[in-house]
Structure 1
Amino acid sequence: MARYVGEMASDLDDNPYFRDPPTDFEPVEDLSEARAREQAEQLREAVRRHDRRYYVEGDPVIADRTYDALFARLEALEDEFALDAEDSPTRRVGGEPVESFDAVEHVAPMLSIDQSGDAEDVYEFDERVRGDLRASGHAGEVDYVCEPKFDGISIEVVYEEGSLVRAATRGDGREGDDVTENVRTIRSIPQRLAGDPPEFLAVRGEVFMPRDAFQAYNRERVESGDDPFANPRNATAGTIRQHDPSVVADRPLDCFFFEVLDSSDGWATRWAEDQALPEFGLKVNEHTERVDSIEDAIEYRDAMLERRDDLNYEIDGVVIKVDDAEKREELGSTARHYRWAFAYKFPARTEVTTIREIAVQVGRTGRLTPVALLDPVDVGGVTVSRASLHNPDEIADLGVDIGDKVRIERAGDVIPQVAEVVEDGSDGEDGDAHFAFPDRCPVCDSPVERDGPMAYCTGGLACDAQLRESVVYYGSDDGLDIEGLGERTVRQFLDAGLITDSVADLYEIDADELVDLEGWGERSAEKLLAELEATKEPPLDDFLAALGIPHVGAATARQLAREFGSLDAVMAADAEELEDVPDVGPVVAEQIRDFFDSEANRAVVADLRDHGVEPQDADVEGGDELEGLTFVFTGSLPNYTRSEAQELVEDHGGSATGSVSGNTDYLVAGENPGQTKRDDADAEGVPQLDGEEEFEELLEDRGAL
């Protein structure tokens, strides 16, 4: 079946920018306004046609580079001569952001569809349709149109005299959000219809994100440190409701049209609509079929289920519609559902799915973690679209590669992971791993080093991915506890270019820059800047913890500060000196030394100091009243935070750890203590101090209080 109408020869002859267009344009400033207007209109017409050939028909006639040259020329003409046009293709790069979406009433109700995954319910639908039609005098056969049930976002698009005038989400079926400016950026949705369209046409379509584009987009997000979208539908829903059309323009959305809601013309059947819409440049699905029995409709569904994994878009079933428009009118609808349509759903994918991409995520410490991006699958009632592959050795052990079918399980019923390969989908031998783990960081291109089964980026704080996580950690409770500097704020600063090189960029932000950002006012800006100013003389241990040195948390940072006294002394300490610090073994000592040996990390520390951040020297004298004693705390103490109690112990020569072992000397149990630590203490024969009073009595006896 021919799905698209070819270009008219006269149209091709009239426009010089359609076939073999010239790209060596004369300078814009040499054009008269009349010539510029003429050329701009020709370019708009040509670009619209090229968009249709590329995004709708899948049959481009020019190279991408040539298209880019035509598009750039059109932008230049419109900018130079102020040739603004509502339906210009240049509007697809995004218009002005909107503060909120207006609610608009649909030209016709956009109702939902009854659905089931049981064939018996499909037969009952057919029997009801035939019975209702017989009762109303419509005897005879019933033809159905079958189409994929797309798993995207339903929209209404309205055209007047061939031009797109409005687009709205489905909403509650009666009215939805006006997302016209966002929809203008979707290249498969024409802003001006082709051919000889009706004067008025309202069509229903499904906006979706193609699977390959979704996986590629998720890979970019993972590798840049962002959380990936759960599935293409969520990605589409989150995109179409963005308040900034330029964000929508950057995301790979597509659209199929499948129903005429209202029109100044009319078609006798749904099938006739499907033939007519492509003539206007509206993209329909190639797998739509007309059948003459419900048995054939069920066979269509089964065939689409087999074909499902080969499609480049998500479908979760098929929709079966009465073809004849008059019969559909007679059948009508309920308050919620069309009575002439039924969705025959697919069973959910469970546990076994396909790996579409393997992304490599870079964490705060530089560790590279491979992540399998999957076709969404149900695992224990939860939809899973990504799973950790842990490290390069895990990939080799599993023999996993892109394209493999794998079984997914949730470790501890929480973390999704690849359990095994059930079908090799790659080009190599079964069981072989062909995914090439990168030897350069995917974010900053620094060399990757292996440490046993783990892989690490050597870029340090100069790596954008590590930078993002490091800035978040710097301001977290475990760092300098900067109120208002959470993950969302850090992402906003990075996106706005306020942080580009290191955490030290925080100290260059001024109030005017903050007020210009969405959600910021003068008061909130002043509050954050005051918080930052207050961190310029941090305690040494807090500063060391805030740097995010691998394996150096608050307790180890306190020990380092107490042992060396100054930042310079810590940075200069060799591995042997570091190992002399309580709780710092060879591995941790090597991590500290490697961190400060990094030229990039030392540059960041120097940059912080240049911006006025000077950690305060610690008291290295300390007491030794608790030397040799190890404490574990559980529950809360009325007059001490957990960190204050641990610091008190360490200031007098003792150690504070997080778990009970045979080396623990005392378990201090405050209010609401954890039962596990108490049980461990009983098992190890560790004495327990009940509450703050007994803890302070011990300190007094030892001379530490």
Structure 2
Amino acid sequence: MEIKQQIESLRKELREHNHNYYVLDKPTISDYDFDMKLKELQDLESKHPEFHDPNSPTLRVGGMVTKNFETVSHDQRMYSLDNSYSKEDLEDWEKRIQRVLGDVEVEFTCELKYDGASISLSYEEGQLIRAVTRGDGFQGDNVTTNIKTINSVPLQLKGDYPPKFDIRGEIVLPFEGFAKMNAERVANGEEPYMNPRNTASGSLKLQDSAAVAKRPLDCLLYGIVGENTGITTQWQMLDKARDWGFKVPTVAKLCKTTDEVMEFVEYWDVHRHDLPYETDGVVIKVNSLQQQDELGHTSKSPRWAMAYKFKAEQVCTVLNEITYQVGRTGAITPVANLEPVLLAGTTVKRASLHNADQIAKFDIREGDTVFVEKGGEIIPKIIGVDFSKRPQNSKPTKYINHCPECHTELVRTEGDAKHYCTNFYGCPVQITGRIQHYISRKAMDIEGMGSETVTLLFQEGLITNYADLYTLTKEQVTPLERMAEKSAENLVNGVVESVKIPFERVMFALGIRFVGETVAKKLAKAYKNIDALMDASEEELVAVDEIGERIAKSVVEFFQNDANREIVARLKSYGVQFELSAEKLENQTEKLKGLIFVVSGVFEKVSRNELKKLIEDNGGKVGSSVSSKTSYLVAGDKMGPSKRTKAETLGVQIISEDDFLEMV
């Protein structure tokens, strides 16, 4: 047999054995025979590098070292899910669905919600080309080299797969493998890992892929995104994904009513403990992809999916002390410092008390025995006090009057739940907090610098605001504690590189109160450059889409301050981007200004996402559902009947793809 054919035949055979063992759990060959065939392939590949394949089964052993994980934008955003905790929540969700879809039959798929690290896998022509962590939903880390070591991730698909698509899922660590890892750590005199979820998540960012290969990670897939996949329902999607070689859990149910959904939820709330993986709830999705399209998304979550969270684990412990944290905006957050207690797989020592009203509501005091649970099994919170165990000498909590950092008297405005330190430009924690926000990943993403480094630089008098970062030299930074020459060089280079960050993220990085990522993008797009924005009045700002009075007032106050204007001027002089790039400005017009479009169906000449981008690039707004404010409904093939009916009822003009393209 010709060498190339021999190599390809071995690769195909090993892929099939791999799939049978790790995905189907039905091995058809002994481990020894598999290892012998793998060794044969390794020998052939090493002798014939001209037949290299980046997705060969031999590469699953890892060995590549990744120093810095590249940040990659998701082709389609990875949304988070809204949570529900009762049948009433689900019924309210179903009513909202029916209001949008009208009187049509709706089916639901129920799948278990596996507790791991979210991942997006990209395939082209059946080959794995990229694996990206969820990150902030818009962009994540490229961890392809590490993901290729996970045996249940197919490197080459089989069957009638689409030419290009992404598939989303969870990287999990089965209980059995986790226990084995910890037994080995303890035997070696090392600390055991706390829980499978955090260990799985941390594994994805290990620099040596050979170390990842040694961990018994698994990958469970649940959702495909892409154009023209030929799939019409979520249930069909699960079946197709299995056919193509993905490991898709078989625990799923197609339901017609919320009663059937609750039967599934109640069964698995009890039986989840029999599963090999951690689960924390059930995900319920509208089955029809056409109906999903009609329902659309909010700014954070799909309207067509809901997570039903199993009842959170609850424990009792003693509240030793209440301390107070100051945020970068001056907001004060009381913190409960607890007697350490194990909760849902992690040791909890602290919990947020939110504000003075929360403390008063539960009458929480130091020395109390409190009930603690994890909200959504992520953030610990105090949900009550065991008054039978309250010490006799207990005294009511007296909320602080002055900032714990700079001793400025606190202010609480009417209607605001939090107290604030108003020493915005003098309170050390607020100063360092703003700089820490500026360097953060979603903002300027400065490599080589973390929160502790910022605090150290401030304490040493090297920086007092984020503009000072651009004057730092390697010679100034190297003598600092725990700062080697290479680290200092990386820090300074990271600051230099940050001038490439686009204007909309710079806007977010400035840390203006109430200006989050979405608002920053809206302002950057509306004003194009910082000078126009700095001169805008409250009235002009309120006219911008989704900018309310509170945001407008905060923006105007920020730029009225001479210190802030001086910092912006300095940042400009260092080359920080304070206007939209030529690329972003190209093809942007105001042709559709003031018009709201709803897009539905499948299109021929451009994809739905490209169509939405055209609307926004030309000054229009994309609406998620048809209302009296909708200017046009752009109707593609297979558009849902309820959207058409609603548009006709409200007198909204329905246009075709060609009609729209003519408009722009």
TM-score bucket (shorter structure): 0.3 to 0.5
Asked which structure has the greater CA Rg, the reply is 1
Give the alignment's TM-score, normalised by structure 2: 0.48
